[in-house]
Amino acid sequence: SVALVGGAGFIGHNLALKLKELGAEPYVIDGLQVNNIGYYTSDYEKNIINEKSLQLMKKSTFLINTARGELIEENSLCKALNNDQIAGAGLDVYNNEPDINPQLLKAKNVVLLPHLGSATSKARNAMGFKVIENLKSYFKFFVCERIKKIIRITPKSDSHKV
């Protein structure tokens, strides 16, 4: 069997290793840009899994996406699932989260989960501290620099002297 895993983060990487242990041939798609405020999908990567790419997959393919919902054109995936064009799919990310495509909900060969990759105490605490660090940075650099610019451009006046 062939498995296409969307995302080579912690979850995607470990899923690919488990699939390999089970005798599958995992292919990992990972073209996401990462910076300190999150993950982004470029216009090039949107719908990279579409009707054409789904037609190229073997019938034994299980498509697994743990990266970003925008990677998969969901209507084409639903068509492929309902026509047994591929064996199945496992998703924990969706195009219009939290709304899930009703066709996906009806498909019999798909496993749908909420995005649980960050649902650990350690991850949630880290996210909270990241918010605090981002706020500190914002106020330290952006607000302070704006205040300095305002002070520099404000004309000095002797009318406020007592």
Three-class DSSP category at 1: coil
Integer Cα distance of 59 and 66 in angstroms: 21
pLDDT of residue 3: 66
Contact 70, 97 (CB under 8 A): no
Residue-wise pLDDT tens digits, 46-64:
888 899 988 988 888 888 8
Q: DSSP string covering 12-60, please?
A: HHHHHHHHHHTT-EEEEE---EEETTEEE--TTTTT-B-HHHHHTS-TT
Most confident of 18-32, 72-86, 116-130, 141-155: 72-86
pLDDT of residue 126: 83
Active-site residue identified among 97, 124, 133, 146: 97
Active-site residue identified among 13, 25, 51, 115: 115
pLDDT of residue 33: 34
Predicted structure pTM score: 0.56
Q: What's the one-letter identity of residue 33?
A: Q
Q: Which residues contact 59 (CB under 8 A, 6 or more apart)?
A: 84, 85, 86, 87
Integer Cα distance of 147 and 91 in angstroms: 47
Tell me the pairing of strands 33-35 and 38-40: antiparallel
DSSP 8-class letter at 144: H
Integer Cα distance of 145 and 129 in angstroms: 24
Catalytic: 68? yes
Active-site residue identified among 25, 51, 68, 133: 68
Catalytic: 115? yes
| Token digits of residue 75 | 């209507």
Q: Is 117 left (phi over 0), alpha (psi -120 to 50) or beta?
A: alpha
Q: Which residue has the higher pLDDT, 75 or 66?
A: 75
